[in-house]
Amino acid sequence: MFAFQPFSKKQMQLMNWYKEGAPTAGMDMVVADGSIRAGKTIAMTAGFLQWAQENHEGKDFILAGKTVGSLKRNVITPLLGMLDSWGWGWEYNRSGVPCIRVGTNSFYLFGASSEAAQDTLQGMTAAGALADEVALFPKSFVEQMIGRCSVEGALIWMNCNPRGPFHYFKTDFIDKAEEKRIAYFHFTMGDNLTLAAAVVERYCRMFSGMFYERYIKGKWVQAEGVIFDMFDERRHVMRGIPTSGGKHYISCDYGTQNPCVFLLWGEQAGGVWACEKEYYYGGREVGRQKTDEEYCDDLEEFAGSLNIQDVIIDPNATSFIAAVRKRRRFHVRKGKNAVAVGIRNTATALTTGMLLFDASCTNTIKEFHSYVWSDKAFERGEDAPLKQSDHAMDATRYFVNTIVASPVSLLR
């Protein structure tokens, strides 16, 4: 059962945007963007369900997320709870293309994680679509999804958190809302009546810079300059951090000609993780490339007598992973390599004071000041780091994404 809470004025407008008498009645699509935790997904899901069931019988609909997993978490779980609360019978068929049947209507679940995802929509005739986190979709999927909604009276419902100002969804849909007959609603946390003031204040503390502008203010702003502009040596660097008595991990960004980096992480009090020391070897700078076996020797020396929980390694470093596993001293864990999510989680961990660095980690500290966004990616409407001065940053990201992310990751 879904525990409905009072809806805000903005949520009610989103739920009823298509109805006769609404200022947006007669539009073909609706877009809701804005800050995280603003209540747009719940309102859109409830409105979409009611519209579909009240206006169509025996029709097919598209439910799309970045992945089917994220769609289930963000949309399907509350959707099924709503159906139960309303007393509407439903059937969930998980084989093939997952499908939820409500009355005579069928709602098919799709992931939109790559350009090839558009092929899964081929041949479908739909009466409507709900796209969750649509700014994460390839443009080809969005265009195919819209093209599939050809039943008379079809409507398309889309929501997202902002990206960069030149992202295709901003330039081709939001900026052309009037031209394309799109009802547009911008949400902030104030539009979610279920959030206590203390919760809003906590979210505001968790982000800074570009991430604050996007996730808290809900703005489509440019990612410019240094990526981790919240890194402050006065706050994040300490001289002589003692070896932790808690858990220890080593994260690794593997390189041959490019630098190979090991970072030793120790668990401190209060959920803080300290990078106690670093190993940084650049074959190109030194003039000699090391073998995997030599790196394994260095890794064992780097760990010393410490009990290491996991060695977290760049998942693409297959030969080095095999070499470390062959030694049987360490348990190897492939690092989670989602770059954008990893950068956001690392920024949040820095902002909330969950990461410290010993002053001896000179290369890591140097990279924090020179790790910058790519101008070429920005011109494509994407956020991506420039591939330089990023080896210790990648090792840090692997650790945060793999070990620390759960308490700091904000997906919605």
Q: What does DSSP say about strands 182-187 and 99-102: parallel, antiparallel, or unpaired? A: unpaired
Name the token pair of 208: 């800074």
Question: How many CA atoms, within 13 angstroms, populate the side-chain half-sphere of residue 157?
Answer: 29
Residue 67: which of 141, 151, 152, 146 has the closest Cα? 141
Q: Letter for the amino acid at 58? A: G
pLDDT at position 340 is 87
pLDDT at position 406 is 56
Distance, CA of 64 to CA of 46 (rounded, Å): 15
DSSP state of 29: E
Q: Angle at the Cα of 253 (from 247 to 257), degrees rounded to 5?
A: 150
What lies within 8 Å, CB to CB, of 298 at 6+ separation is 262, 279, 281, 290
Return the H-helix or E-strand segment holding 278: strand 273-281
**Total Cβ atoms within 10 A of residue 100:** 20
Q: Are 227 and 383 in contact (CB under 8 A)?
A: no
Report DSSP letters for 149-178, one per residue. --STT-EEEEEE----TT-HHIIIIITTTT
**Total Cβ atoms within 10 A of residue 101:** 13
Q: Are 67 and 111 in contact (CB under 8 A)?
A: yes
Under-70 pLDDT residues of the chain:
222-224, 283-286, 378-379, 406-412
Q: What is the dihedral of CA 187, 228, 341, 239, to 10 degrees?
A: -130
Distance, CA of 59 to CA of 105 (rounded, Å): 5
pLDDT at position 166 is 78
Name the token pair of 267: 């668990």
CATH of domain 233-405: 3.30.420.280
Report DSSP letters for 208-244, one per residue. -HHHHHHHTT-------SBTTTT--HHHHEESSPPPP
Distance, CA of 403 to CA of 407 (rounded, Å): 10
Per-residue pLDDT of 132-151, as tens digits, reads 999 999 999 999 999 999 99
Cα-based distances in Å from 197 to 200, 204, 217, 340: 5, 11, 16, 29
pLDDT at position 389 is 74
Task: Give the residue extent of every domain in the chain.
Answer: 9-215, 233-405
Q: Are 221 and 207 in contact (CB under 8 A)?
A: no
pLDDT at position 286 is 66
Distance, CA of 324 to CA of 331 (rounded, Å): 9
Q: How many angstroms separate the first and last alpha carbons of the chain?
A: 21
| Chain centroid, CA 2 distance in Å | 25
Question: How many CA atoms, within 13 angstroms, populate the side-chain half-sphere of residue 377?
Answer: 16
Domain 9-215 CATH assignment equals 3.40.50.300:
yes
What lies within 8 Å, CB to CB, of 387 at 6+ separation is 374
Query: At how many degrees (to 10) do helices 292-303 and 318-327 cross?
Result: 60
Which residue is associated with the tokens 């650049």? Answer: 282
Residues constituting the chain: 412
What lies within 8 Å, CB to CB, of 217 at 6+ separation is 35, 188
Question: Does this model's pTM top 0.75?
Answer: no
Distance, CA of 397 to CA of 412 (rounded, Å): 20
The strand order across the sheet containing 155-160 reads 90-93, 99-102, 105-111, 60-65, 128-131, 155-160, 29-34, 182-187
